[in-house]
Structures are given as C-alpha cells and as structure tokens.
C-alpha cells in the first residue's frame, strides 16, 4: 500500500492538528505492516519532518491559494503529484482533487458549524460550505470521538457507514514526575513557584477562558492560575476581564511553550488541570494531564465527558459559580486529589497513538 498524507500542519509551532499528524505518522511508521508513506505539503515553509521516516513533496504556494486552485480548476491532483497513491489521507478538513486514490478525511470537530461565534471568521467563512462538500466526496471520514461522529451526522448529512471513530492520545513521552523535580524544573525554566492551577490551549473564544478567569477571581485560593498557550484570535483575555493590580499577581501567562519537555513538569506540579472549553472534538490536553496524574476539572459538554470519564470533576461551561466551587472543592480536599490522580492515570491508559494508528490502518485497508 502507498499512502499519501497531508503534512502541512507539521509547523515549527504545531497545535492540535499538527500534533495529531506528527503522532499518527510516528505510530503508523512503527507498525509491522506500515505502508509506504509520502507526505504532501503546501505553503511557504517546509514541514518539520526531521523525526519521521517519510518522504514528501511540497507545492510552495500559500495554502489558501492552493485551496482556491483546487476549487476552481479541480487541479492539481494530490495523489498524482505524489507519483500515485492507493490512499490519500487529508488531515485538516480539506480533501484535495484525486485522480485514482481513495480519499480519507479527518474531521476533528465542527465547532465552526455548531457555534460559529466561537471560531475565527477566517475559518468559518471558507470551511462552512466546503466541509460538507469534502465530507461527501470522502470514501471514509475519521473522527476522534463519538461526540464528533454525532456532529458530523447532524451537520453534514453523510452516510453513517463511512464514518470511523479513531480516538487520539496524549504525547507518549508524558509521565508523572516527582513533584519536587517538577517544581525545580519550573523554577529554572519558567520562574514559576508556589501552588498553581493550570490551563493549556490556544487563547481564543472557543476555549472559554473568560469564564475560567472570572471563576478563579471569585475564589480566595492561594494558588496562581497559569495559562499556557499562544494567542489565537479575538480580543485579548485581559481586555475581556479587567484585572486589578492584586489580580495580576495571581495570574500567569506563559505564552506558547516550544519545549514540550516542560509539559510533564507543568502537569505534575499543578494542583489541577482546568479545561473549560465550550466545545472540543477530543481534548488532547486532558489526556496529557491525566497521563501525568493531574486531577482534571472539565466542561460537561461535547467530547470531554467521553474522554475523561469518571476521572474528572465537571462543570457547565457557562456557569462561573460552578467552576469556582469545583476549584475550591478540589483544592481543599487532599483525599479527592489523590483519588482523581489514580483515576486519571488509569483513564489515560485507555488511549494510545498505537491504537489510533491501528484503527486508522483498518480504515485504509477497507478501501483497498
């Protein structure tokens, strides 16, 4: 089998889809029946493939210009550009024109259809109509959760029998660290000291960070609230929730952290990981937190109860008081913290990139 797969998301600062692409390719490459893999990329920067045993070809034009070319001229054919493939896997919502290959399309979530106000207009406008067209053309659609499968059926009107659920996983290198070692690493690299609650994700409306910040400021907890992630779109969080001089002493914004080696320390040292998103297709940070034994408080919506199971506390994403109570309850109860740590470690073991790769390979083979 020869597999063509999109690798444009393998950027120098990857986020969710980039990590999905990286870990899926790494796991596929480790399978005994690994196919021949050839990557396809576009854009003005080369993809970051140094750690992957794959070849690739690139069309060095802006990706949105290539999308326009595909839409207007139905060319170039991605599989033909790669020298011919049996399967072509589009990992980022857009299935390119294909000459002969069967098309597999990953749809990570449909928040931009369910609630367009939470998503960047740069995504909503071009993807709103296109995703339906691409989904109907695809021979198989991969989704990361049962919640996303239901959204695909609700919004895209595709045949249920061509959808496959392939759950994701966290970074396989993430494990619990001794707290003292984790705290020392954070002191050295981030100048972060003392107890803290952690939130990881791009700073954008869908992540519902204003609710979290307002809830935290309602508490008298001695902890700091640490936000890890680059700015996405929309108004800056500080503009939405004005902070007093005293408030600012309790809030830390690290920005995007390139060194993935620091994340086990962050998760291992945090009293809790907070995930207040309005909508998630899967929620990789929750699994990574659980893999490090970090107690989780998450929104009771979309895929998050499916992913975190009984290993988390839940609150409605719009209920500021409920989030404040959950934080206070968890921080005050050492027994509860330990119980959730143990449940988190067990829950995280349900997910692995090997399992995701095996499920993905089964899908490919169905199309041969």
168-198: b (≥16 Cβ within 10 Å) or e:
bbbbeebebbeeeebbebbeeebebeeebbb
Instruction: Output b/e per residue, 126-149; b: 16+ Cβ within 10 A.
Output: bbeebbeebbeebbbbbbbbebbb
Task: Please choose, from the candidates 59, 38, 69, 52, the residue with its C-alpha nearest in 3D space to the C-alpha of residue 10.
Answer: 52
- Written as one string, the DSSP assignment of 117-183 is GGS-HHHHHHHHHHHHHHHHH-SEEEESSHHHHHHHHHHH---GGGEEE------TT-----HHHHH
Return the structure tokens found at 295.
Answer: 């107690």
Which whole-number Å values give the CA distances from 260 to 10, 42, 174, 231, in the listed order?
Answer: 15, 25, 9, 18
Q: Considering the entire predicted model, what is its pTM?
A: 0.93
Equal CATH topology for 2-169+352-366 and 179-348: yes
User: Digits of tens for pLDDT over the chain (368 positions)?
Assistant: 999 999 999 998 888 899 999 999 999 999 999 999 999 999 999 999 988 999 999 999 999 899 999 999 999 999 999 999 999 999 999 999 999 999 999 999 999 998 888 887 877 877 777 899 999 999 999 999 999 999 999 999 899 999 999 999 999 999 999 999 999 999 999 999 999 999 999 888 889 999 999 999 999 999 999 999 987 665 567 667 888 899 999 999 999 999 999 999 999 999 999 999 999 999 999 999 999 999 999 999 999 999 999 999 999 999 999 999 999 999 999 999 999 999 999 999 999 999 999 999 999 999 99
**Out of 3.40.50.1110, 3.40.50.2000, 1.10.10.10, 3.40.50.1100, which CATH number does the structure's domain 2-169+352-366 have?**
3.40.50.2000
H/E element holding 5? strand 2-6
CATH number of 179-348: 3.40.50.2000
Alpha-carbon distances of 45 from 40, 41, 59, 66, 103, rounded to whole Å: 13, 9, 10, 14, 25
Q: Which two tokens stand for residue 77?
A: 């054919």
Handedness of CA 204, 209, 213, 218 (dihedral sign): positive
Residues with Cβ within 8 Å of 175's Cβ and at least 6 positions away in sequence, in order, are 264, 291, 292
Name the residue ranges covered by the structural domains of the chain. 2-169+352-366, 179-348
């Amino acid at each position: 089998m020869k597999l063509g797969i999109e690798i444009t998301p393998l950027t120098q600062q990857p986020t969710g889809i980039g990590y999905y692409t990286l870990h899926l390719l790494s796991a596929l490459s480790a399978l005994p029946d690994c196919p021949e893999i050839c990557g396809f990329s576009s854009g003005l920067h080369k993809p970051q493939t140094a750690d992957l045993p794959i070849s690739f070809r690139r069309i060095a034009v802006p990706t949105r210009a290539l999308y326009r070319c595909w839409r207007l001229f139905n060319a170039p054919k991605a599989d033909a550009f790669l020298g011919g493939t049996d399967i072509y896997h589009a990992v980022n919502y857009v299935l390119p024109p294909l000459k002969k290959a069967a098309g597999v399309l990953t749809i990570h979530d449909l928040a931009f259809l369910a609630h367009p106000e939470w998503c960047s207009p740069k995504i909503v406008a071009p993807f709103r109509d296109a995703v339906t067209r691409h989904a109907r053309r695809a021979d198989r659609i991969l989704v990361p959760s049962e919640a996303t499968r239901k959204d695909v059926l609700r919004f895209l009107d595709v045949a249920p029998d061509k959808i496959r659920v392939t759950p994701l996983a966290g970074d396989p290198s993430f494990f619990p660290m001794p707290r003292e070692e984790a705290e020392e690493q954070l002191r050295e690299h981030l100048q972060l000291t003392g107890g803290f609650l952690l939130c990881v994700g791009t700073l954008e409306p869908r992540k519902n960070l204003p609710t979290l910040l307002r809830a935290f400021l309602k508490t008298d907890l001695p902890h700091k609230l640490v936000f890890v992630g680059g700015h996405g779109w929309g108004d800056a969080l500080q503009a939405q929730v004005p902070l007093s001089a005293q408030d600012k002493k309790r809030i830390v914004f690290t920005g995007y952290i390139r060194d993935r080696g620091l994340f086990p320390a962050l998760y291992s040292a945090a009293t809790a990981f907070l995930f207040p998103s309005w909508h998630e297709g899967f929620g990789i940070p929750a699994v990574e937190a659980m893999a490090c034994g970090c107690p989780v408080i998450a929104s009771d919506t979309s895929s998050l109860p499916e992913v975190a199971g009984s290993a988390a506390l839940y609150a409605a994403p719009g209920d500021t008081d409920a989030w404040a109570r959950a934080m206070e309850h968890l921080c005050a109860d050492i027994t509860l913290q330990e119980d959730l740590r143990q449940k988190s470690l067990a829950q995280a073991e349900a997910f692995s990139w090997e399992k995701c790769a095996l499920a993905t390979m089964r899908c490919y083979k169905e199309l041969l």
